[in-house]
């Protein structure tokens, strides 16, 4: 491909010092005091102040500095939604397919009235109530429109650059996004002025006043300043084209004299074939490219604009920048971002523009392509139509803007309007157009070399797998499989991948430069695979442990139920024993010859034959029926069956005193869902049995597991609990049989006493 020779010329840095803003300083046309007053009376300048605005707009303090005049309001969401560190860092170096959708950012610029309009006094009533809102009086009714930022007529070129969000757009282009800044609006509304500065300055070959630099020049300076701060290598290439009468012309190769074709490919989408690309090493090179293109651009003069652009122009910078991966300083990733500046031709009323036959043809083509753009914007902005057919193919302009509008790009639209009442209906159209554009959603994606993309994706995956691995290891203490096992399999996979990637034979030089990349890929793939297998093994082991735990848990439940039954039986026995005691045989007749009676309800210790059998077995007064000191409840927190301790309560069955169950540490049951989830709450253990009885929560027996975090330990704990439950079960069974024996003996004693009385 042939290259255009770019002659370097001295370009001065723009003067960034803030000058006092007035209409006069901007275009030098408003000189008459009465004209100024007239303007002030119609376009409200001192509108209510905004609150402090950050992220791309000025703070109140900043505004105060500007002689108390508010020149813009609103907030560039480009900075918020796309420029947030999360979005950028997470998207950096990867396909940002999981990024949230982002709306197209739309800012509005109202140019000041020009001399002709001021003389004619054709102003319409508009006001700027703040927060990115403009109110326009149309057909005696006030219409309100809100955008990201509204720039009032006093806003300078510098204000536009600082607060429209274009700075962030440049940053994002450097990070691999396809970014577009697009100016649209009716003819003579200030699109070219906004993008490149006053159009006339490119015509007469004069030195351009840096103060008048538009968004493009300021972005170029900013881009180079940012690139200087980056350590890795960078490469910038520029192309500049125009679409004139539905034909694509290369503005950097104008002598070529041929129209270029717009093609489509799966990987690139729509693109211009054989478009000239100029390698630019310095900002001066870029400035020369811009001037060359501007000079070659089709312009004409008509009733509404002396230097009217008769074509849509697109300046595209392709930015390849090598950046170190934030997660791995040994890995450098090359990101290919794009930054496109589009200056659309203005829609025009043929009647007003006094068109000749040739310009009529131009105007029709301009209007036609803008109509298609309008249709695309309308469809994209409509939630119902967004996923249907978008008529990009109906014009070359929309084909080339397809990715910026509805695809994976980041787009900033600058809608330009004039406050002239003469063109109020066109202004209303632009405002509506801009409102529709604001509804368009895009999904920004970083474009990368496929191999680098693979590395980044593998790294991302490895990170997730490593975390999972650590988590599983903590749970299971499971040994990892040695990497070598997987090496062979991975080699095969890797070679297959290489074959697919390099269909053309690789030159020795390429081989050398890419070998490092391949090695890295190989390593990542091996590690990735090793982690996957190891994690799969750990998952399987964990599942097995869970199943075992579930079985034991069920057994645990059954044992618990049996114990409860036995306790009920014990209580029944106790009641029977008490009933036997409560119905003693009638008091025998006092026989002075026989001495004391044979039996009383509370036989004194060591007296009487029958008393001997009970001696030492009755519970002392301060013991509850459970055999524990009063106030005792079972260690698992479950209250023992039977009456509460206190007056008149039954005494503990004799066998318990002789053989008490000494604080059986029966822990509560592990809730099934806890076992199933494998998650053990630290302090909210909730025994289902306790829950059913409304008993307050007890400290979890699985608390100890915190000290023994593995799943294996949990299994052991449940096993231990089951063993303890079985022990308690055996004890209870023994207790019951003893109790029954005791009951039988008591009955015999009572029966014997009755017999003896008789
Ligand atoms: N904000 C502004 N301040 C001062 N002058 C401006 C401003 N905007 C536009 N102008 C002047 O208004 C005239 C028309 O502007 P410009 O050519 O940029 O409009 P345009 O929208 O690009 O028109 P067209 O679509 O016909 O090319 C120019 O002389 C330009 O310098």
For residue 208, the 8-state DSSP code is P
Mean pLDDT of 340-364: 72
634 CB within 6 A, ligand 1: no
197 CB within 6 A, ligand 1: no
The CA 416 to ligand 1 mean position distance, Å, reads 9
201 CB within 6 A, ligand 1: no
Mean pLDDT of 563-569: 84
Question: Could you read off the pLDDT of 60-106 as tens digits, one per residue?
Answer: 344 444 444 567 676 665 543 333 322 222 222 333 334 445 678 89
**Candidate of 25, 27, 303, 342 to mutate for ligand 1, largest count of ligand atoms within 8 Å of Cβ:** 27
Contact 185, 417 (CB under 8 A): yes
From the CA of 307, give the closest atom in ligand 1: 17
Contact 104, 376 (CB under 8 A): no
On the question of pLDDT at 747 being above 60, the answer is: yes
Q: Residue 674's Cα: distance from chain center in Å? A: 30
Give 358's pLDDT tier (boundaries 50, 70, 90).
low
Considering 233-247, 401-415, 431-445, 498-512, the range whose residues carry the highest mean pLDDT is: 233-247
The CA 199 to ligand 1 mean position distance, Å, reads 7
| 682 to 439, 471, 552, 674, 686: CA distances (angstroms) | 48, 17, 21, 11, 11
Helix (H, G, I), strand (E, B) or coil at 137: strand
193 CB within 6 A, ligand 1: yes
Alpha-carbon distance of 164 to 148, in angstroms, equals 8
The CA 41 to ligand 1 mean position distance, Å, reads 23
Alpha-carbon distance of 430 to 416, in angstroms, equals 8
The CA 30 to ligand 1 mean position distance, Å, reads 15
Mean of pLDDT over the chain: 67
Alpha-carbon distance of 654 to 394, in angstroms, equals 101
Question: Could you read off the pLDDT of 196-250 as tens digits, one per residue?
Answer: 998 777 766 667 788 899 999 999 999 999 988 887 788 999 999 999 888 899 9
Q: Which residues does 29 contact at the CB level (< 8 Å), separation at least 6?
A: 23, 112, 114, 115, 118
pLDDT in the model for residue 654? 33
- Run of H or E residues at 335: strand 328-343
Helix (H, G, I), strand (E, B) or coil at 412: strand
pLDDT in the model for residue 245? 86
**Candidate of 154, 186, 199 to mutate for ligand 1, largest count of ligand atoms within 8 Å of Cβ:** 199
Give 424's pLDDT tier (boundaries 50, 70, 90).
confident
Mean pLDDT of 364-392: 83
Alpha-carbon distance of 222 to 174, in angstroms, equals 11
On the question of pLDDT at 398 being above 70, the answer is: yes
Place of tokens 């869902």: 673
Candidates 439, 412, 441, 275; CA nearest to 341 is 412
Cβ neighbours around 539 below 10 Å, total: 14
**Candidate of 111, 183, 209, 214 to mutate for ligand 1, largest count of ligand atoms within 8 Å of Cβ:** 111
198 CB within 6 A, ligand 1: yes
The CA 620 to ligand 1 mean position distance, Å, reads 107
Alpha-carbon distance of 737 to 674, in angstroms, equals 36
Cα angle vertex 672, ends 669, 675, to 5°? 95
The CA 128 to ligand 1 mean position distance, Å, reads 21
Single pTM value for the model? 0.57
The CA 38 to ligand 1 mean position distance, Å, reads 21
Give 6's pLDDT tier (boundaries 50, 70, 90).
very low
Give 466's pLDDT tier (boundaries 50, 70, 90).
confident
192 CB within 6 A, ligand 1: yes
Give 489's pLDDT tier (boundaries 50, 70, 90).
low
83 CB within 6 A, ligand 1: no
Candidates 731, 754, 576, 592; CA nearest to 663 is 731
Question: Could you read off the pLDDT of 255-275 as tens digits, one per residue?
Answer: 767 889 999 988 788 999 989
Q: Express the helix, strand and coil content of the chain in percent, nearest 5 each.
A: 45, 15, 35
Question: Could you read off the pLDDT of 145-175 as tens digits, one per residue?
Answer: 999 999 999 899 999 999 999 999 999 899 8
Cα angle vertex 358, ends 354, 360, to 5°? 50
The CA 215 to ligand 1 mean position distance, Å, reads 14
The CA 114 to ligand 1 mean position distance, Å, reads 9
Nearest CA to ligand 1 atom 28: 198
pLDDT in the model for residue 81? 36
Alpha-carbon distance of 416 to 54, in angstroms, equals 23
Helix (H, G, I), strand (E, B) or coil at 487: helix
The CA 373 to ligand 1 mean position distance, Å, reads 21
Query: Which two three-digit tokens encode residue 468?
Result: 């999972």
The CA 378 to ligand 1 mean position distance, Å, reads 26
Q: What is the CA radius of gyration of the chain?
A: 44
Alpha-carbon distance of 50 to 70, in angstroms, equals 9
Alpha-carbon distance of 564 to 397, in angstroms, equals 82
From the CA of 157, give the closest atom in ligand 1: 1
């Amino acid at each position: 491909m042939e290259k255009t020779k770019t002659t370097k010329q001295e370009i001065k840095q723009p003067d960034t010092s803030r000058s006092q803003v007035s209409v006069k300083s901007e275009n030098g046309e408003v000189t008459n005091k009465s004209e100024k007053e007239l303007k002030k009376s119609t376009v409200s300048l001192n509108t209510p102040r905004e609150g402090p605005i950050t992220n791309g707009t000025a703070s109140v303090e900043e505004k105060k500095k500007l002689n108390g005049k508010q020149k813009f309001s609103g907030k560039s969401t480009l900075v918020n939604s796309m420029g947030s560190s999360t979005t950028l860092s997470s998207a950096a170096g990867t396909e940002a397919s999981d990024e949230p959708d982002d709306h197209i950012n739309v800012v509005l610029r109202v140019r000041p009235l020009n001399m002709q309009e001021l003389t004619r006094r054709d102003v319409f009533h508009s006001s700027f109530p703040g927060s990115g809102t403009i109110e326009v009086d149309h057909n005696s009714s006030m219409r309100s429109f809100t955008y990201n930022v509204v720039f009032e007529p006093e806003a300078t070129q510098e204000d536009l650059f600082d607060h429209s969000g274009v700075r962030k757009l440049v940053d994002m282009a450097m990070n691999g996004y396809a970014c577009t800044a697009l100016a649209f609006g009716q003819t003579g509304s200030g699109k070219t002025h906004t993008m490149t500065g006053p159009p006339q300055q490119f015509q007469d070959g004069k030195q351009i006043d840096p103060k008048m630099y538009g968004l493009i020049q300021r972005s170029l300076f900013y881009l180079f300043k940012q690139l200087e701060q980056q350590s890795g290598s960078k490469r910038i290439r520029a192309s500049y084209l125009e679409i004139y009468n539905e034909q694509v012309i290369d503005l950097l190769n104008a002598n070529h004299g041929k129209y270029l074709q717009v093609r489509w490919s799966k990987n690139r989408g729509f693109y211009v074939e054989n478009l000239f690309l100029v390698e630019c090493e310095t900002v001066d090179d870029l400035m020369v490219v811009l001037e060359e293109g501007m000079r070659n651009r089709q312009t004409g003069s008509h009733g509404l604009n002396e230097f009217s652009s008769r074509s849509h122009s697109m300046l595209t910078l392709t930015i390849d920048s090598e950046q170190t991966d934030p997660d791995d300083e040994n890995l450098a990733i090359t990101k290919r971002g794009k930054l496109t500046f589009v200056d659309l031709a203005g829609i025009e009323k043929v009647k007003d523009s006094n068109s000749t036959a040739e310009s009529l043809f131009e105007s029709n083509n301009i209007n036609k392509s803008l109509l298609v753009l309008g249709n695309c914007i309308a469809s994209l902005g409509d939630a119902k139509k967004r996923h249907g057919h978008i008529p990009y193919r109906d014009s070359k302009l929309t084909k080339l803007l397809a990715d910026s509008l509805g695809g994976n790009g980041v787009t900033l639209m600058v809608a330009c309007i004039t406050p002239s009442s003469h063109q109020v209906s066109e202004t209303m159209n632009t405002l509506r157009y801009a409102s529709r554009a604001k509804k368009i959603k895009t999904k920004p994606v970083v474009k990368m070399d496929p191999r680098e993309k693979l590395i980044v994706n593998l790294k991302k995956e490895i990170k997730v797998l490593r975390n999972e691995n650590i988590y599983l290891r903590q749970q299971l203490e499971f040994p990892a499989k040695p990497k070598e096992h997987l090496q062979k399999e991975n080699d095969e996979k890797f070679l297959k991948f290489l074959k697919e990637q390099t269909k053309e034979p690789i030159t020795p030089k390429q081989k050398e430069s890419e070998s490092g990349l391949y090695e890295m890929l190989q390593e990542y793939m091996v590690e990735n695979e090793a982690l996957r297998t190891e994690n799969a093994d750990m998952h399987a082991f964990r599942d097995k442990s869970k199943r075992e735990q579930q079985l034991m848990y069920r057994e645990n439940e059954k044992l618990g139920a049996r114990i409860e039954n036995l306790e009920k039986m014990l209580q029944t026995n106790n009641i029977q024993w008490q009933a036997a005691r409560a119905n003693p045989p009638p008091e025998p007749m006092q026989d002075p010859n026989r001495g004391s009676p044979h039996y009383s309800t509370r036989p004194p210790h060591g007296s009487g034959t029958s008393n001997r059998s009970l001696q030492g077995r009755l519970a002392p007064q301060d013991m509850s029926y459970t055999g524990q000191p009063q106030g005792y409840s079972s260690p698992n927190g479950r209250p023992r069956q039977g009456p509460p301790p206190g007056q008149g309560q039954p005494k503990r069955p004799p066998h318990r005193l002789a053989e008490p169950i000494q604080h059986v540490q029966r822990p509560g049951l592990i809730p099934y869902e806890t076992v199933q989830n494998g998650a053990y709450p630290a302090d909210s253990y909730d025994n289902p049995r306790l829950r059913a009885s409304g008993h307050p929560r007890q400290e979890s027996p699985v608390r100890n597991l915190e000290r023994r975090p593995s799943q294996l330990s949990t299994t052991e704990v449940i096993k231990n609990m089951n063993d303890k439950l079985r022990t308690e079960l055996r004890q209870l069974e023994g207790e019951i049989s003893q109790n029954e024996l005791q009951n039988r003996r008591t009955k015999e004693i009572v029966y014997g006493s009755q017999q003896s009385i008789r």
